[in-house]
Structure 1
Amino acid sequence: MPDGDECFLPPSLEASIARSQTASAPVPKVAAGYAQSGNQQVLPPTSGSSGAAQYPHVLPDGAHEHHAHGPHGCCHGDHGEDEEDAHYKEVCYSLLSYAEDAASELMTIAETFHIPDPRDQAMMKLKVDDLMNEMKQCIVVNDHFLKMLVLSDLDAQDYWQMPPDHQVQERNSMKARTVLRQFVRDWGDEGAQERDVQYGCLLDALERYVPKNARPSGGKPRVLAPGSGLSRLPFECARRGYAAQGNEFSYHMLQGCKWVLNETDREKSHVIYPFVLNLENRRNALDHVRPVAIPDVCPSRILCPPGVDPNPEDFSMCAGEFINVYEDQIAEWDAVLTCFFLDTAKNVFLYIRTIADIIRPGGLWANFGPLLYHYAEQPDQISIELSWEEVKPEIQKYFDFKEEDFREALYTTNPKGMYRTRYLCIYFAAIRNDVETEGESFPVYD
């Protein structure tokens, strides 16, 4: 690996393909929740009935399940296992079937590019067959990477082989592609600008309003980052000396999270091609087949350096629906950082009251994100879509605002693309007062 200021050059296409071949067989590990390198613990496991370490489960979309809180603030489900397992199976199969899904789209692209007039074809930078072959090789690399997220996980061994007649739902196929883009956002150099804009202000507020000696009972302040995706935000909190926990509901994100935290042993160890099927809005002919090296940093080397015993309470991931998991953890958190999370609520007031309940008086809530409302266009789903003018007064009942403004931000954007969706996001940092929460909402997450 390069040292100092030496520029990192991503491996060539041929080298990345050769490396990816090694991911096509299951990778043994000591137990889920442990890094392979030196058995260094990154994700504190929960204790199952067998006594073996187990990664905490996540709920399927729309499931309602009571959670028992395990050690170190982690949790796992007690009921609804059949439904949960069925959903997890579908997620694994969608990751395993990326190549088939991508090949079908590539065939359509190839048919479009085979223009009858040879004079039109001559104007293209690359011959159609050469371009399609290069895209096909990139798909092979992506396919081995996504397969590795399943095949390196012993918890998923029941789903290492997809039945030949199984049909993956389109929405799960699209989520598998989203995993690639999320890796760029959270663990690629190309995502650094997005992270600096969005995570940067939250981390600055954390250090400004919750100094590391601020916990009344002593020890490191406890920071929660719900909706943390591939876990970069809670990782950065732990990196700065806080006891951080991420919370995530999506199995697609959790499968990627488990890999990057537990299985990576050096930075830029893998290459993906997240834009290979996005031919629209390119500046240059080969922008869509450029490689992205991940991870930009190795989490286990930073949080668990050689010779240092990790403290499981310093960094953890908890899988499950936010309200279900945390509603009983009254005043247990010193800070909650929410990034592109507030509008994932079906009823935002339920989120606000829960966050107010779990933050101790004097603790911090820092938020960054739009009001896009995740369920707004989904049929047969509850979605209460309120303006910031209506949302802010409910927050002000329980929090004293210290900072508030609107900031522009991108989300999982192709930095070299010609099209970008720019959000005007609400940023605020607010301190929990001593007003008890009031009111009650129906459990709209059922």
Structure 2
Amino acid sequence: MRSITWTVATLCWLWAGRALGDEASSATRGEPASQPGLVWVDASDPQYLVYEVRQVELALPENEHPLKRANAERHLKEKERLLQRLDRKHGTWNEHHAQHRLLEALRGFSAYAETQQAELNRLKGLYSHVPKKQKTLLEREVKYSQKFTDIAQLIEKNQQLCNGIVQNAMEFYGIGQHELDQHIRSMKSAGRGAERVSVSQALKHFVRDWAASGVNERDAAFPCILKVLKDLFPNPGQEGVKVLLPGAGLGRLGHEVAELPGFQVTNNEWSTYQNIAYRFLTSRSPNPNTSTIHPFIDSWSHHRSTADMLRAITFPDIPLDPSSVLLVEGDFTTVFRDEAAASYDVIVTHFFIDTARNLMSYFDTIARLLKPGGYWVNFGPLLYGTAPFVQLTLEEIVTVVEGMGFEFLEVAAPGSEGGSHSQGCGGKEAIPGKRVYGVEAEYGFDERALTRNAYEAVFWVARRK
């Protein structure tokens, strides 16, 4: 048996001699701290910023696979780096600071019922303008007002899930209740409402990534990408294949890659809303279908039936091993600056590159982190946001990426056995002769909706020379 020890400092607040999150602290009773490693100070002043320093010892069997040992150490190291980034003293304190964004996400999930009920009240107000005769018909035939009552009840059920997400995040990141309450009061005083859309999108990603009903959207890309990786690395060596997935969302693709023998996976996600939802997911029982959500009650369009709109979705649909994938939180172009160049064998960008504020910075980061001879696998649309610095056409992207020293690899045509790597992804050449391909991919979260959103996703495999 081999053991490693790691020291983790957790940022917390001490208010009036009380360690937040505890029912009562020893300090308030004039007693010494009962928890080993907890630093107490004189509480005569109303507020102190303190650290809880813990040493974590992890026992690893000597015959444990080297990749599993490496994963355990990576998780501990990254948790320490994450807590350092969350320290208010780290960088400039403003709305872009990591801890400010975390508090905003916690506020958004905490206020889920409040913001959703406000929107529901707006819709009820609009219904009040319907003439009495028409309203009588609606109530008699479809009991229209009952939907408002039913949705209000389901909002409260979703709030229970959101409360679990918040509580888990506060424990994971070391955020005290007083600190969150203080932030909420500050934002309300500034006239800034809690975020509604980002919370809703994060909750819907439970469906897309981790529910059985999201399989159609996953199947557009996942089998293709997994086949590529198996073809590129049919016999991973003892060191394994190091894969990075920026823009990982709630992480399903990374977990499926990690199921491949010999693959060591790092997910990266900037959205704090997605990250705290993922932390909740990986803190639950590993058994399938342990959580429930009603994800479609905040949108009244494109439903086939009221039952579809109100239906519950359970997740996750498969057992989940949180230790198999490392999550690195933060902006892709900055959070890996301290990581050594040429650290990864593969970078997979799935529905990601069009999220860039500066697309060229994404390209530079990919080129720096990939080993010579490493592979860049891309699958996704070119749906740029509202204020990107650069908006390149696919043809321009290919030209620029080739100019950076990448070689696009040939992909077999649908049904063909030829080509350098027979991915079996379907699709067709998006630009003749340029070895980039278009593959139809759905994106919409609700497989029962009366609408379908689909992109011609751009797929390529490029090798860094």
The Cα shift of 1:415 comes to: 1.4
**Distance in 2 separating the partners of 1:352 and 1:165:** 38
Deviation at 1:296, TM superposition (A): 0.9
Q: Equivalent residue for 1:393?
A: 399
Q: 1:169 to 1:296 in 2, by over 3 A?
A: farther
Contact 1:363 1:431 in 2 (8 A): yes
TM-aligned CA deviation for residue 394 of structure 1: 2.1
Q: Distance in 1 between matches of 2:346 and 2:368?
A: 12
Is 1:358 the counterpart of 2:369? The answer is: yes
Cα deviation 1:372-411 (Å, max 9, x = unaligned): 123xx24xxx521111111112222422222331112222
Which residue identity is paired with 2:269?
E
Identity percentage of aligned residues? 25
Please tell me the residue identity of whatever aligns with 2:103.
K
Matched, 1:220 2:226: no
Query: What's the offset of the Cα at 1:202?
Result: 1.5
User: What is the match of residue 17 of structure 2?
Assistant: none
The Cα offsets for residues 31-80 of structure 1, whole Å up to 9 and x where unpaired, read as xxxxxxxxxxxxxxxxx982456xxxxxxxxxxxxxxx986667435522
Matched, 1:235 2:255: yes
Taking the TM superposition and a 5 Å limit, the aligned residue runs for 1:48-59 are 50-52=53-55
Structure 1 pair 118/52, CA: closer, same or farther in 2 (3 Å)?
farther
Is 1:136 the counterpart of 2:152? The answer is yes
Shift of 1:340: 1.0
1:116 is aligned to 131
How far apart, in 2, do the equivalents of 1:184 and 1:205 lie? 25
Return the alpha-carbon distance in structure 2 between the equivalents of residues 383 and 361 of structure 1: 28
Q: Secondary structure at the match of 1:93?
A: helix
- In structure 2, the residue matched to 1:98 is 112
Instruction: Work out whether residues 210 and 334 of structure 1, in 8 Å CA contact, stay in contact via their aligned partners in 2.
Output: no
Cα distance change of structure 1 residues 113 and 386 upon mapping to structure 2, 3 Å threshold: same
Instruction: Judge conservation of contact 1:329–1:358 (CA < 8 Å) in 2.
Output: yes
Specify the SS of the correspondent of 2:302.
Answer: coil
| Larger relative contact order (Cα-Cα within 8 Å, sequence gap ≥ 6) | 1
With normalisation by structure 1, the TM-score equals 0.73
Structure 2 length normalisation: TM-score? 0.70
Contact 2:115/2:194, CA 8 A, preserved across alignment: no
Q: Which of the numbers 291, 303, 307 marks the counterpart of 1:282?
A: 303
1:235 CA displacement: 0.9
Q: Secondary structure at the match of 2:221?
A: helix
- Against the structure 1 CA distance between its residues 164 and 322, is the aligned structure 2 distance closer, same or farther, given a 3 Å change threshold? closer
Tell me the amino acid that sits aligned with residue 440 of structure 2.
Answer: E
Choose the corresponding residue for 1:205, options 228, 231, 234.
228
- For residue 346 of structure 1, give the secondary structure of its aligned residue in structure 2: coil
Runs of 4+ displaced beyond 4 Å: 69-75, 159-166, 168-171
Shift of 1:230: 0.8
- CA distance 1:212–1:137, change in 2 (3 Å): farther
1:311-330 aligned within 5 A = 314-327=324-337, 328-330=339-341
Could you tell me how far apart the structure 2 residues matched to 1:360 and 1:102 are? Answer: 47
Equivalent AA in structure 1 for residue 98 of structure 2: E
Report the 3-state secondary structure (helix = DSSP H, G, I; strand = E; otherwise coil) of the residue aligned with 1:337: strand
* Higher share in strand: 2
After superposing the two structures, state which structure 1 stretch, 420-429 or 152-161, moved more: 152-161
* Counterpart AA for 1:143: Q
Matches within 5 A, 1:339-350: 339-350=350-361
Shift of 1:85: 2.0
Return 5+ residue gaps in structure 2 as ranges.
Answer: 1-20, 24-50, 57-73, 412-435
- Residue 334 of structure 2 aligns to which amino acid in structure 1? N
Work out which of the residue numbers 375, 381, 389 in structure 2 matches 1:370. Answer: 381
Provide the rounded CA distance (Å) in 1 between the counterparts of 2:78 and 2:241: 14
> C-alpha separation between the residues in 2 aligned to 1:97 and 1:257?
19
Q: Does 2:283 match 1:262?
A: yes
Deviations 1:189-212 (A, max 9, x none): 111111111222212111111234
> What is aligned with 1:188?
211
Q: Secondary structure at the match of 2:447?
A: coil
CA contact (8 A) 1:182 1:412 kept: no
The 3-state SS of whatever aligns with 1:172 is coil
Letter in 2 for 1:364: Y
Relative to structure 1, is the Cα distance of residues 273 and 391 closer, same or farther in structure 2, using a 3 angstrom cutoff? same
Name the stretch that deviates more: 406-415 or 337-346. Answer: 406-415
Structure 1 residue ranges without an equivalent (≥5)? 1-25, 29-47, 54-68, 304-311, 434-446
Task: For 2:192 and 2:406, locate their aligned partners in 1 and report how far apart those are by CA, in whole Å.
Answer: 42
Cα distance in structure 1, aligned partners of 2:219 and 2:349: 15
Q: Relative to structure 1, is the Cα distance of residues 170 and 410 closer, same or farther in structure 2, using a 3 angstrom cutoff? A: farther
Deviation at 1:113, TM superposition (A): 3.3
Residues 442 and 454, structure 2, Cα contact 8 Å, conserved in 1: yes
Q: 1:165 to 1:132 in 2, by over 3 A?
A: farther
Match of 1:253 in 2: 274
Alignment check: 8 A CA contact 2:288 2:318 kept = yes
**Shift, 1:364, TM fit:** 1.6
Contact 1:110 1:128 in 2 (8 A): no
> What are the residue-to-residue correspondences of 1:66-77 with 2, within 5 Å?
75-76=81-82, 77=84
- Give the whole-Å Cα distance in 1 for the aligned partners of 2:194 and 2:377: 31
- Taking a change above 3 Å as real, the CA distance of residues 49 and 132 of structure 1, as seen in their structure-2 partners, is closer
Paired residues in the alignment total 355
**C-alpha distance in 2, partners of 1:252/1:212?**
37
Q: Could you tell me which residue of structure 2 aligns to residue 409 of structure 1?
A: 441
**Cα drift, residue 169 of structure 1:** 4.5
